[in-house]
Chain A
Amino acid sequence: MSWCELPGYWLGLEVLERYGCRMADGLVITMQLVAISSLLGFFLAVGLALLRLRGPRPVRWAIAGYTTFFRGTPLLCQLFLIYYGLGTFRLFWQDVGLWWFFRDPLYCCLLAFTINTAAYQAEILRGSLQALPKGQIEAARALGMRPVAIFIKVEMPQALIIGLRPLGNELITMIKVSAIASLVTLFDLMGATRLAFARSFDLSIYLVAALIYLALVEIVRRIWNQMEARLTRHMVLR
């Protein structure tokens, strides 16, 4: 008996014992999807937020359009547009040598999730950067700091204090909405659960899946508490 059958065995839940390994594989895919897309999305969002605030006017407008579109339309719709919509242009993708990317549902999901979360994270960061008092930057300039150093050492640490909780909320949202990956044939945690349910018709497997998602969210919440304590350690009253 392998380790992933044990939880079901201990709980005396036959369906979890039979599909425990599929659920474990699914959990790995869900975590990969969320971790990679959120991280890539964050780096993208830093650039987008900066350009949105300080770029040339047409770039600012373009980014405003991008965030409006991706925050204003359902993620499922975006995913289907990428997976089925872009998927119809196979000959074009083969010509440009990108078919391997659009053929794979995992990559399509990563692309959809990344550009979606980047839009949200960019707006969070833009708001956080705008909330900083002007005096901070002026003081840093008066000290002779260069713009890049000001951004990394003065602005970002303070913007992250403001933006940390909303960014955490965005990550939690991503964990939950990643379940739609199962609709484009991926066996993520939800996909594995649907398979187990379709075979056993035992509803308790959905409860197990819900508890696993809940545990993931709880872990993120605790990590975020630690990160906030670390980032604000200079502000704690002694």
Chain B
Amino acid sequence: MTTKRAFLAAMLAAAAFVPGTASAQAITEIKIGTEGAYPPYNNLNAKKELEGFEIDYMNDLCARMKVKCTWVVQDWDGIIPALLSKKYDVIVAGMNATPERAKRVDFTDVYTSTPIAMVGAKSITSTNISPDALKGKTLGAQGSTIHMNYLEAYYKGSTLRPYPTQEEANLDLLNGRLDYIVADLEALESFLKDKGKDCCKIIAEVKRDAAIHGPGVGMALRKGEDALKAMINKAIAESKADGSLDKHAMKWLGKKAIQ
């Protein structure tokens, strides 16, 4: 029954996006939602083109799956609601497969696992980032992320500030309103190479907490889209086996996708 329903759902999804040409088995076109504001994973460059590790990687998977892929840029805050209301079929936006999100959406297999870090002013000498050590400090992160959830869960004695995008949090660290920001290490590194060069440094890495951070980054799909999920999982497995996942990761992140 459930496979039949999933099959029907996949058919309907295909029919909805390619009216008239939908065949019974094949998904021929998928829409992909991403944020476009999280370099080096996904970013809109000055020419308004999407670029980054996830863009290259997903385009690779699309070629593998022989489907036509269309990218849709969507603000982070609405990225899951827009998936649920069928603005696109899959989210590829550095999203960690957390238990909390898994209640609402399905995740594919993990394709990268990002280290998490705290960044602060260069003048900070201590590498102690325990909640006790940061009591009374002002900490920032992008809102609706695992990082904000992590701060909310453990850093109750600090002032917490959520930002609509990571770039605004970076800006406020630069301005000196924040003492620390928490984010994925690569996103922070690209900030430190660029605008944050003179002001800030990585203070310490944050240990992953399975209940909050999840096992790693996966692609999110609507529940019940099992045919699409199986197709993407197969492509992910192939890309892991033939080394092309790591090829894209080396290009953009400077290291292997899964440590």
Contacts and interface: CB of A to CB of B under 8 A. Distances in A.
Residue from A87, A99, A187, A191 with most neighbouring chain B CB atoms (10 Å): A87
A198 B175 contact: no
Given A90-B175, A198-B77, A201-B84, A185 B161 contact: yes
Nearest to A187: B162
Interface in B64-110: 77, 80-81, 84, 100, 104
B172 interface: yes
Interface residues of A, number: 17
B16 interface: no
A198 B176 CA distance: 27
B176 A195 contact: no
B176 A90 contact: yes
B161 A105 contact: yes
B191 to A, nearest CB: 16
Contact of A194 (B84, B100, B144): B144
A87 B77 contact: no
A103 interface: yes
Contacts of A199: 100, 149
A183 B104 contact: no
A87 B172 contact: yes
Contacts of A187: 162
Contacts of A69: none
A22 to B, nearest CB: 10
B162 A185 contact: yes
A75 to B, nearest CB: 16
Interface of B: 77, 80-81, 84, 100, 104, 140, 143-144, 149, 161-164, 168, 171-172, 174-177
Interface of A: 84, 87-88, 90, 99, 103, 105, 183, 185, 187, 191, 194-195, 198-199, 201, 203
26 contacts: A84-B168, A84-B172, A84-B175, A87-B172, A87-B175, A87-B177, A88-B174, A88-B175, A90-B175, A99-B176, A103-B176, A105-B161, A183-B164, A185-B140, A185-B162, A185-B163, A187-B162, A194-B77, A194-B143, A194-B144, A195-B143, A195-B162, A198-B144, A199-B149, A201-B84, A201-B104
